Structure 1
Amino acid sequence: MGRVNRRILTLIAALLPILVLGVVGSAVEVPFVALGPGPTFNTLGDVEGRQVVDVQGAPVDPTSGNLNMTTVSVRDGLNIFEAFGLWADGRYGLVPRAEVYPPGVPRDQVDKSNQQDFKDSEDNAELAALHYLKYPTRVRLRVVADDGPAKGVLQVGDELVSVAGKPVATSQDVIEAVRGAQPGTAVPIVLRRNGAEQTVTVKLGARPDDSAKGYLGVTPEEAAQGPLQVTFNLADIGGPSAGLMFSLALIDKLSSGALNGGKFVAGTGTIDPQGKVGPIGGIQYKMIAAREAGAETFLVPADNCNEAKQRSPEGLRLVRVDTLTTAVRSLEAITAGQSTPTCG
């Protein structure tokens, strides 16, 4: 009987650390998040019955193939076992949680900021495409500061025709029109409000950061002129990295021929209204997602090339892009069977 009891005690002693490890491993949350391949969407296709890039008020040329935007998935709230399992999978990487969700910043605030970045990327993508295609744009007011000199004279939604006698077609034109003017200068502004053109005068105030310079206290934005309307229909996506692919999809729809030659192209990259392509994070995970979805070509921002070429999935051609123009030319070259700039 004593020998049996000793065997039971020995077994318990051997199993106890395993039981404790199991409890701790499944209950203790690690201060890391897992980054990995996220969903990828064809910007030439549709989601839930709506075109991802919907164009109204202009002829739309038929498209084919894929121009996929790519995303990174973030898995939070991991216990020890989950974190180790994802790391061992090889498709995921662990990074300190503070890099994704800064300490002291509420989760919903981070999500809201990411969603605003995504909205800004849509706006920039539209403008970059319109500028590339030489479509006319108009300037309207997105914000009129409550404490600015234009308050009560200008309104949100006003379309600016000229400022200080200078025609305006871009947001930069508005800045240039008042640059160098002294505070107190009365500036005539021709605007269009509710379809009617009128002239108003705003007395410039002093810039908060430079009291020697005048300012209007408005935030202008560019938009398509005339009947053209562009709507981007992707929800629950954050960050600015879809800009390049949105621009390419819009160009493809508003110009003749299939920009991608009917092939499966994916990519990533921020974009500004002038068409400059900027770097993004998580390039290795986006390439994995693209290749698993069937992509043969991946458009890589120039500043991400070194990282991308070290982690590129087999069978995925990397094309180096630094502007919207080079991206379009590279796609045309691929269609024609010609060489393109690469990350190699």
Structure 2
Amino acid sequence: MFVAVLTWQSLSVRVPYVALGPGPTVDTLGSVQTDEGEQPIITASEQYRTQSAGKLQLVTVRVYSEVELARAIFYWLSDEYAVVPRELIYPEDQTEEQIAQKQTEQWTQSQSSAETAALRVLGQPVRVVVTQITPGSAAEGVLKPGDVIVAVDGKPVTSAQNLAAQIAAKAPGAERELTVTRDGKEEKLKVKPGDGGQGNAFLGVSLEQKQDNPYDVRINTKGLDIGGPSAGLMFALGIIDRVDATDLTGGLNIAGTGEIDDDGNVGPIGGVAEKVIAARDNGATVFLTPSSNCPAAKSNVPDGLTLVKVNTLDDALNALKALREGRTPELC
């Protein structure tokens, strides 16, 4: 009896680990239940709005934050869960409120970048507009508020992030040619970006991104208890599908994941081994996978789920087109 009690107590002790398991999936082409009733997740003005036969599901990971030894052993032995040190999910130098706030900020940014990337595909380019000049910077006397920076050394500027990367690609002091639109006229200007610190070149301007949204597309996430950046790719595809006359899904149940930036680059995310299980459990047959996540996804991919490798939003669109045409896209 004494041994049994000790065994039970030892197995009931909480361990400094958390478990990650398959979480809920959400069809970005579907609806969500809110306090105001059921509402579409992605909307567009009626004149552009289309319907599709399939699904574009974002997938999530469920975190089990309080884990006893017995349950940790169960999770460890299961193919559907991962057990990781608690500090990887809840860093000791951050409060739970700080972690939640970061997750919320990433969630909001993922929607903004998804909209930007999707609208570009739909024919609405980003305009990078100068709003302010830093006194004493290289831009002073060269650029003016209201200038739209179109290109650097002849290479198109597609976003504020892209502009910063192009400027930083050469050492401070190197002469650069900026193509700008000023008062409706195109001009070419010479500038030598200064040192912004740590040897990185910078112009010394504040910027604003502007982009037309004639379709009035909106993402409504009320009622979704989700955080983090990994829904970006599926939101972008959902926006395009909502407006484009083509049914991107081809009637398939497609799931996927991946952080996205304003230029449509798709980055890796965490928990992909659990997300492929969530996708399978919710009927998906295709999983759009950031290329860096392919090894982890392949190690745990369930039967009947095809892993498609993507690096960009264009890759995902091309893969979906291949599937609709009966061709095989690039796989993990």
Q: How much has 1:173 moved relative to structure 2?
A: 8.3
- The equivalent residue for 2:236 is 247
Identical pairs, percent: 36
CA contact (8 A) 2:196 2:202 kept: no
Task: Please report the RMSD computed on the Cα atoms of aligned residues, expressed in angstroms.
Answer: 3.6
- The equivalent residue for 2:326 is 337
CA contact (8 A) 1:58 1:227 kept: no
Bigger mean CA deviation after superposition, 303-312 or 39-48: 303-312
Structure 1 residue 224 and structure 2 residue 211: aligned? yes
Structure 2 residues not aligned, in runs of 5+: 137-144, 174-180, 184-193
Alignment CA distance shift 1:117-1:172 (3 Å): closer
- Taking the aligned partners of 1:212 and 1:116, their CA distance within structure 2 comes to 27
Where 1:259 maps in the other structure, the secondary structure is coil
- Taking the aligned partners of 1:105 and 1:84, their CA distance within structure 2 comes to 27
Structure 1 residues not aligned, in runs of 5+: 1-14, 151-158, 182-188, 192-205
Alignment CA distance shift 1:207-1:144 (3 Å): farther
- The equivalent residue for 1:42 is 27
Please give the TM-score of this superposition, normalised by the length of structure 1.
0.74
Where 1:36 maps in the other structure, the secondary structure is strand
- Taking the aligned partners of 2:279 and 2:107, their CA distance within structure 1 comes to 20
1:46-83 superposed Cα distances (whole Å, 9 cap, x missing partner): 11112222234861222221000111111102122232
- The equivalent residue for 1:22 is 8
Alignment CA distance shift 1:57-1:172 (3 Å): farther
Paired residues in the alignment total: 299
1:77-135 superposed Cα distances (whole Å, 9 cap, x missing partner): 21222322333443211000111111121111111112111111111111111122221
CA contact (8 A) 2:253 2:283 kept: yes
Alignment CA distance shift 1:163-1:90 (3 Å): closer
- Taking the aligned partners of 2:42 and 2:257, their CA distance within structure 1 comes to 16
Where 1:130 maps in the other structure, the secondary structure is helix
- Taking the aligned partners of 1:307 and 1:30, their CA distance within structure 2 comes to 25
Alignment CA distance shift 1:163-1:35 (3 Å): closer
- The equivalent residue for 1:33 is 18
Q: How much has 1:306 moved relative to structure 2?
A: 2.0
In structure 2, what residue type is equivalent to 1:284? Answer: A
| Higher Rg of the two aligned structures | 1
- Taking the aligned partners of 2:97 and 2:162, their CA distance within structure 1 comes to 36
CA contact (8 A) 1:127 1:222 kept: no
Residue 271 of structure 1: which of 240, 260, 269 is its match?
260
- Taking the aligned partners of 1:46 and 1:302, their CA distance within structure 2 comes to 29
4+ aligned runs moved over 3 Å, structure 1: 136-141, 159-164, 172-177, 210-218, 226-230
1:23-48 superposed Cα distances (whole Å, 9 cap, x missing partner): 3432x221000001011100111111
- The equivalent residue for 1:6 is none
- The equivalent residue for 1:325 is 314
Equivalent runs, 1:168-247 vs 2, <5 Å: 170-171=159-160, 209=197, 216=204, 218=206, 220-225=207-212, 227-234=214-221, 235-247=224-236
- The equivalent residue for 1:299 is 288
- The equivalent residue for 1:259 is 248
- Taking the aligned partners of 1:294 and 1:226, their CA distance within structure 2 comes to 33
- Taking the aligned partners of 1:314 and 1:227, their CA distance within structure 2 comes to 42
